[in-house]
Amino acid sequence: MAIALKTTSFLQTRKSQSHFLRLSAPTFTVSFKSRTVMATLSIAPAVGLSETFSRLKQQGKVALIPFITAGDPDLSTTAEALKVLDSCGSDIIELGVPYSDPLADGPVIQAAATRALARGTDFNSIIFMLKEVVPQLSCPVALFTYYNPILKRGTEKFMSIVKDAGVRGLVVPDVPLEETEVLRTEAAKNNIELVLLTTPTTPIDRMKAIVEASEGFVYLVSSVGVTGTRSSVSSRVESLLREIKEKTAKPVAVGFGISKPEHVKQIAGWGADGVIVGSAMVKLLGEAKSPEDGLKELGTFTKSLKAALP
Amino acid sequence: MAISVSSSCRNPTSPYKSFSSSLYLPRIPFKFEKYQYGCSDFKPASISCVMTRESAIQVEEMEKKWNNFQRPDSFGRFGKFGGKYVPETLMHALAELESAFLSLSVDEEFQKELDGILRDYVGRESPLYFAERLTEEYKRPNGEGPHIYLKREDLNHTGAHKINNAVAQALLAKRLGKKRIIAETGAGQHGVATATVCARFGLQCIIYMGAQDMERQALNVFRIKLLGAEVRAVSSGTATLKDATSEAIRDWVTNVESTHYILGSVAGPHPYPMMVRDFHAVIGKETRKQAMEKWGGMPDVLVACVGGGSNAMGLFHEFVNDADVRLIGVEAAGFGLDSGRHAATLTKGDVGVLHGAMSYLLQDDDGQIVEPHSISAGFQESISIGGHNTSFGDISCIRLFGEIMPNTAKWI
């Protein structure tokens, strides 16, 4: 904020100058305060996915993007987990909406979804929780959901509900590029970035179309398969990263199978702008002796991953 | 099995009149000697049927709509239904499959090989059998009534129509150089057919079956294993067909480069509904020829049960452009359409996406997929009905009835 002062009036009347200054200072302070107040009252963090990546790039850092399933073991633990992840160094958090038929997910996330649904987790309760928690987070939240729950509500309504909860990004793994236009239009109206996935089996021309259309970042699936921890990262990731970066300047985050600090370090070394860690996180929370233990382990694990990243 | 009914039952008034006065909705009870489920207090039940999605479309309007209808279009859509809603990892494989299928459908050598296998191995043509006593049963007092014929797909090798599609897809897989085959199965019929053709062609075979279904259909599990295939129990979700299908799709996502997925019905992502329909179309083609041979005309009404829709599509597809032939699909209504425990997807479902395609689904308010109810495990397939059937249902050239048949395993 720039304050222009007329030098003549400033010099001529010292009384008035100090008076002016006294007047201007509170004015300045009040404006600043009101801005801060607006920031805390606002239901969306000021920063979206693209902006987060830009900031990190300037700092020479790689984004850590954990994924957890909402409602496993229960929504109040999920609420706490979001805060733990945020405070332990996550740059973006992906929150999975549990679904009865998750085609892209392996046994760990499938089991988490089944448990969450069995506890009665539904979309409305997830949104309710997010409305309370998102304002307390410093990093943006992206929802990971399959298409049918979106269709059931209607795309327009779904996007508007999700926007009101403060969500800034969306990943829908079972909608092909050709069908994403409507989703993208409605998401854009609501300031939500629709992230698209590209995989090792995607031919180069199609990959080019995907990266052009993707918003927020490009999600590179590291291997041919579903989600789930793997012992090592496929070496194909290095060449895939290179190919994608020839086609776009957008940030690229790698996901599926990444579960250890060594993996994260390796992928960052290959030039990824972000790493997504899902099943390893979900497993920690789901298999812990108690929710408190799970949250503690989650925090430790997140910090170890963050430490392995530049 | 499907019924085709010949000319004497033709209703001279509008073909879209309610069927409540129709001859094939008898008030007499059915008697079944074969299987009786929970038969301790079995009482013969009367059949009640409910028509679905009635709309006042006139014949001309219907024809106009139908002629502008591409089935499917280049995106694999049937109107608004169908499509390819699968993880990106599968998109290339689906494109490859579609182009292989389209080129083989005009390949004479492939067609000749397939026809030979259908004839000598599957045992086609299946007979169109005049059901004398059934016809007698439905004669009106004045001696008029439908002539009821049964298209005997049950007489094919492995006992159902499923093998038509399984054998053709196995041949296709061989052409694509795939050595590993996966499939889902509900009651086990498609699993048996797939295991059979894999044994015939020397392909590795893995069948995904819900753990609950495996208990109910232990005999089919045994048959599948006897044929050298591996049966993998799926315990996730509801442990039934829908979860077996999801698991098969996940296997395909993981092994897409070496594996072909033989989907068992006109469901799933494009090009499967189109392929499975075309592989079963032989049922309708034979029926047309046999009808001409037997009574010198066309059937007036075709009736087929609808689980996933493959047998219905196989019979109906040939006759879709014949405005004089009425197409009737029958879904299972379980404990009643308002009970919440039925398998009447087209009647009671909502539009949604499952297993790669947009269709009518049984789902809850949150968009979670709901397990259908049926005495017969085979009717589990009707969680979502193939794009053809749903697009048919919307144009109302198919009349669907929910049929309440307590205490019987099969209605025919």
Residue-wise pLDDT tens digits, B360-371: 888 888 999 887
> Among B94, B366, B369, which would you mutate to test the A interface (most chain A Cβ atoms within 10 Å of its Cβ)?
B366
B145/A41 Cα distance (integer angstroms): 76
Distance from C-alpha of B147 to C-alpha of B9, rounded to nearest angstrom: 8
Residue B53: pLDDT band with limits 50, 70, 90: low
For residues A122 and B169, give the distance between their C-alpha atoms in angstroms, rounded to a whole number: 39
User: Amino acid identity, residue A232?
Assistant: S
Write the CA distances from B330 to A293, B347, B351, integer angstroms.
Answer: 54, 10, 19
Of all residues in chain B, the percent with pLDDT exceeding 70 is 71
Contact B353 A148 (CB under 8 A): yes
Residue B272 pLDDT > 50:
yes
User: Are A272 and A255 in contact, with CB atoms under 8 Å apart?
Assistant: no
Q: Please report the pLDDT score of residue B50 as a whole number.
A: 61
pLDDT tens-digit map of B279-324: 999 999 999 999 999 999 999 999 998 888 899 999 999 999 998 9
Copy the structure tokens of residue A87.
């405070």
Average pLDDT over residues A226-243: 89
The upper half-sphere exposure of residue A89, i.e. CA atoms within 13 Å in the direction of its Cβ, equals: 19
Contact B89 A117 (CB under 8 A): no
**A140 to chain B, closest Cα gap in Å:** 25
Distance CA B144, CA A229 (A): 69
What residues have CB less than 8 Å from A203, skipping those under 6 apart? B92
Instruction: Supply φ then ψ for residue B370, to 5 degrees.
Output: -105, 145
3-state class (DSSP) for residue B365: coil
What is the Cα–Cα distance from B51 to B45, expressed in whole angstroms?
19
Query: B350: nearest CA in chain A?
Result: A152
Task: Record the tokens describing residue B283, joined without a space.
Answer: 């049922």
Tell whether the model's pLDDT for residue B262 goes beyond 90.
Answer: yes
Count of Cβ atoms closer than 10 Å to residue A161 Cβ: 15
- CB-based contact A221 B367, cutoff 8 Å: no
CA distance B382 to B360: 9
Q: Give B382 or B56, the one with higher predicted confidence.
A: B382
Minimal Cα distance from A111: which residue of B?
A: B236
- Run of H or E residues at B243: helix B241-255
- What integer is the mean pLDDT of A34-50? 59
Q: Considering chain A, what percentage of its residues have pLDDT values greater than 90?
A: 79
Smallest Cα distance from A175 to chain B, Å: 5
Active site residue A94: yes
Question: What is residue B279's predicted lDDT score, i.e. its pLDDT?
Answer: 95
pLDDT at position B44 is: 44
CB burial of residue B193 (10 Å; 0-12, 13-18, 19+): buried
B296: Cβ–Cβ under 8 A, 6 or more apart, which residues?
none
Contact B185, B193 (CB under 8 A): no
Gap from B365 CA to chain A (nearest CA, Å): 7
Instruction: Give phi and psi for A154, each to the nearest 5.
Output: 95, 130
Q: What is the DSSP string of A260-301?
A: SHHHHHHHHHTT-SEEEE-HHHHHHHHHSSSHHHHHHHHHHH
In which band, very low, low, confident or very high, does the pLDDT at B395 lie, cut at 50, 70 and 90? very low
CA neighbours within 13 Å on the CB side: how many for B259?
Answer: 22
3-state secondary structure of B302: strand
pLDDT at B331: 81
State the Cα angle at B243 between A65 and A119, rounded to 5°.
60
Q: Give the least confident one: B64-68, B158-162, B175-179.
A: B64-68
Q: Count of A–B CB contacts within 8 Å? A: 121
Q: Measure the N-to-C terminal CA separation of chain B; round to a whole number of Å.
A: 8
- pLDDT, tens digit (0-9, with 9 covering 90-100), for A261-286: 999 999 999 999 999 999 999 999 99
Q: What is the mean pLDDT of residues B345-362?
A: 82
**Is the pLDDT at B113 greater than 80, yes or no?**
yes
